[in-house]
Structure 1
Amino acid sequence: MVWIEAALNGPWTRQRQPGIPVTVDEVVRDGIACAEAGAAIIHVHAYDPASGVQNDDADIYAAIIEGIRAQVDVIVYPTVPFVGGAAAFADGSQTQRYSAIETLAARGLLEWAVVDPGSINLATFADGPARQAGSTYLNPGAHIQQGLAVAARCDLVPSYAIYEPGFLRLGAALAAGHACPPPLYRLMFSDTFTFGLDPDVEAIDLYLRMLERHAPGHIWMVAGLGLDVRPLIPHAIARGGHVRVGLEDAPFGTPLSNRAWVEEAVRLVRASGAEPATARQVRADLARQRDSLREPP
């Protein structure tokens, strides 16, 4: 069984990705549609509909999660706030960054949490010739440790975005110090942004060699930003991996909806001789992994 995750919107606003859902009702509707199409996992960013920018309010996330799960059995998890510049290093910033996650977990609404083990310059290939700086996605060590500590306290699966090979090694090393569920390693690729390895099968295989060395037995998937991930899906499935699609990850301006991206993933999963997993099957896979990693070698 192959897991399919749908990332519905991301931080882009409609200026960059016009088709994303923004209001609670829109996000709920897309989440339900994606689950009905075959996604077992839904990832969301909350927005302020008036301004059209991200708003990481626990009550907005709660309304989204409850709205989706009232109709379908699916794993739904939110992002954490983007923090840049000196604010990322201020005293208490790590606690504030994960406050909504802790609130949602205390309400029994979460199974997973974003914990990204590293920082990157987030620039596009077009930024260089235009002499644009792009942005910096900061995850200082104190923030990573906070995310893993929250995951341990609340029994949440850490969802690792592996933007660079060093993220994988750091994430594996830090997770070893926390009694949290085993992290999911999401291998990130792009044709639009300059981070990471080139999006090809050789890069997947390189990451898998690193996983075998640093995090053997852990579950992984392919994903991206500004990427048509479909060419990578057959190889990922053949190597035992899973898949993330959706408007957060897709090329900017894609004509496909979130549901259509999930349908494409389902088509490719079945063409590879597999079937999409349900949320119940994802949970069972995670439980088996957790038990196997606890067993002495």
Structure 2
Amino acid sequence: MQVWIEAALNGPWTRARQPRMPLAVDEIVADGIACARAGAAIIHVHAYDPATGRQIDDPDTYAAIIEGIRGVEDVIVYPTIPFVQSADAFRPGAVEMRFAAIESLGRRGLLEWAVVDPGSINLATFDEAARAEPGSVYLNPGEHVLRGLTLAAQHGFVPSYAVYEPGFLRLGAALARAVPGCPPPLYRFMFSDRFTFGFPPAAYALDAYLELLERTTAGSPWMVAGLGVDVRPLVPHAVARGGHVRVGLEDAPFGTEIGNPALVEEMVQLVEAAGGRPATAAEIRRACPAPGPVRA
């Protein structure tokens, strides 16, 4: 059983929540190379301005990261999209601006995968809720989802769906079918111990997602992941059911004291103990094909 291992190197947290996450381009590239050598075939990144410690969505920065890692190791490297949480999401030009970096990278032929999240959620921790604090809102209006899927069809990259709630799966499958030429998405089931969205990392929850996946888009590739979560208890269940796994400081409990390469090494051990074998990037490309950029 080939198991895809993805390493999510940093996420949106800044070092206030994940002190060991890489920020500068050279740090991210070095971390990505180390994770690839540890057994990850997929690397997911957020770009940062190291001077401010804040996330940026600059295509040139992403290009430097992607080319820096892929120039050394043959892995799939893909970026995020900007986090939107206000009425700005609905203003004229917002959808084009949000996907500007993705479109630029697609035109350069640098994307194999990209984030397209098919739904919106309230994003609050249990601690925030206990203090009667509202948390934030992660907005992905339908127009934004369709923009991402249209770019996937145009530039031939796989949409990586973060499925925070079951409705994300249903809407994502329906919209992907409606966009001509869109490559089949990857469905990444998002679990959490710390946040209030979706399900906790439990076998019954994975079974629920898999039943819905089978009834909605049978045979689609899927992965266990999350935010503020320890997915290790799910690994044997995921491997036994033909799924894949994500690990890294974007997903891990806040304040995790070991770095991304060590997290990948541990995940490789868990996968192998469950009877799986870490897949190579070439094997993933064959199993989850995308046509590449559409040329006029």
Alignment TM class, shorter chain as reference: over 0.9
Q: Distance in 2 between matches of 1:43 and 1:198?
A: 23
Give 1:144 deviation, angstroms.
0.3
Question: 2:294 maps to what in 1?
Answer: none
Pairing of 1:32-71 with structure 2 (within 5 A): 32-71=33-72
The superposition leaves residues 146-166 of structure 1 with CA deviations (integer Å, 9 ceiling, x where unpaired) of 000000101110000000011
Deviating above 6 A after TM superposition, structure 1's stretches of 4 or more consecutive aligned residues are none
Q: Distance in 2 between matches of 1:237 and 1:273?
A: 7
Q: 1:214 aligns with which of 213, 216, 227?
A: 216
Pairing of 1:142-161 with structure 2 (within 5 A): 142-161=143-162
Which residue type is aligned with residue 247 of structure 1?
L
Question: 1:251 maps to what in 2?
Answer: 253
Question: 2:206 maps to what in 1?
Answer: 204
Q: Distance in 2 between matches of 1:93 and 1:211?
A: 31
Q: Is the 8 A contact 2:109 2:155 kept in 1?
A: no
Question: 2:264 maps to what in 1?
Answer: 262
Structure 1, unmatched stretches of 5+, are 291-297
The superposition leaves residues 89-130 of structure 1 with CA deviations (integer Å, 9 ceiling, x where unpaired) of 011211111110111111111101100000000000000122
What is the alpha-carbon root mean square deviation over aligned residues? 1.0
Q: Is the 8 A contact 2:201 2:230 kept in 1?
A: no
Question: 2:110 maps to what in 1?
Answer: 109
Question: 2:24 maps to what in 1?
Answer: 23
Q: Distance in 2 between matches of 1:105 and 1:166?
A: 28
Q: Distance in 2 between matches of 1:108 and 1:151?
A: 12
Which residue type is aligned with residue 235 of structure 1?
H
Question: 1:88 maps to what in 2?
Answer: 89
Pairing of 1:103-182 with structure 2 (within 5 A): 103-178=104-179, 179-182=181-184
- The number of residues matched between the two structures is 289
Which residue type is aligned with residue 259 of structure 1?
P
Give 1:198 deviation, angstroms.
2.3
The superposition leaves residues 19-61 of structure 1 with CA deviations (integer Å, 9 ceiling, x where unpaired) of 1000000000000000000000000000011110100100000
Q: Distance in 2 between matches of 1:62 and 1:146?
A: 21
Which residue type is aligned with residue 259 of structure 2?
S
SS of 2:7 mapped into structure 1: strand
Give 1:257 deviation, angstroms.
0.7
SS of 1:81 mapped into structure 2: coil
Which residue type is aligned with residue 202 of structure 1?
Y
Which residue type is aligned with residue 228 of structure 1?
D
Structure 2, unmatched stretches of 5+, are 292-296
SS of 1:14 mapped into structure 2: coil
- What fraction of aligned residue pairs are identical, expressed as a percent? 67
Q: Distance in 2 between matches of 1:32 and 1:94?
A: 32
Which residue type is aligned with residue 143 of structure 2?
A
